């Protein structure tokens, strides 16, 4: 994306300053959202609990020496980043649509029902 925006910088600056300002505004918003996500993810107690209590159960006793914990941590951070981007894009797309209040309520009802249903399923699932 940086190369693409750099190409826009050089080609659009003299020709279209309004478009150039829009590109810079988008770039600023992306970096602001990224910084915010990193801070939230780094201070998330769930993530700390995951790294301190849950992940070590799946590692060998010499995991610190062979880098297994780093691989698991990198995988977790990668998945977290992809899901954060997906939620951001989905929220942006939904936010841009001109939905009526009724449609927003319908969407809220669907997602709420899905979460309650999944919670009920998890609560009643028999574990081995």
pLDDT in tens, 4-34: 455 545 554 556 777 777 777 777 877 887 7
Average pLDDT of 82-106? 84
Per-residue pLDDT of 67-86, as tens digits, reads 777 788 788 888 888 888 88
**For residue 37, which of 49, 25, 26, 29 has the smallest C-alpha distance?**
29
**Confidence label for 117 from pLDDT (cuts 50, 70 and 90):** very high
Cα distances (angstroms) measured from residue 70 to each of 49, 51, 65, 66, 74: 16, 10, 10, 9, 6
Q: pTM surpassing 0.95? A: no
């Amino acid at each position: 994306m940086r190369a693409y925006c750099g190409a826009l910088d050089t080609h659009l600056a003299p020709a279209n300053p309004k478009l150039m300002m829009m590109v810079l505004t988008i770039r600023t918003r992306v970096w602001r959202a990224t910084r915010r996500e990193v801070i939230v993810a780094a201070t998330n107690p769930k993530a700390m609990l995951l790294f301190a209590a849950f992940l070590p159960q799946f590692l060998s006793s010499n995991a610190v020496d062979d880098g297994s914990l780093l691989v698991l941590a990198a995988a977790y951070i990668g998945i977290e980043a992809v899901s954060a981007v997906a939620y951001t894009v989905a929220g942006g797309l939904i936010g841009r649509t001109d939905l009526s209040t009724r449609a927003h309520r319908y969407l809220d009802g669907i997602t709420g029902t899905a979460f309650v249903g999944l919670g009920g399923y998890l609560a009643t699932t028999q574990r081995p």
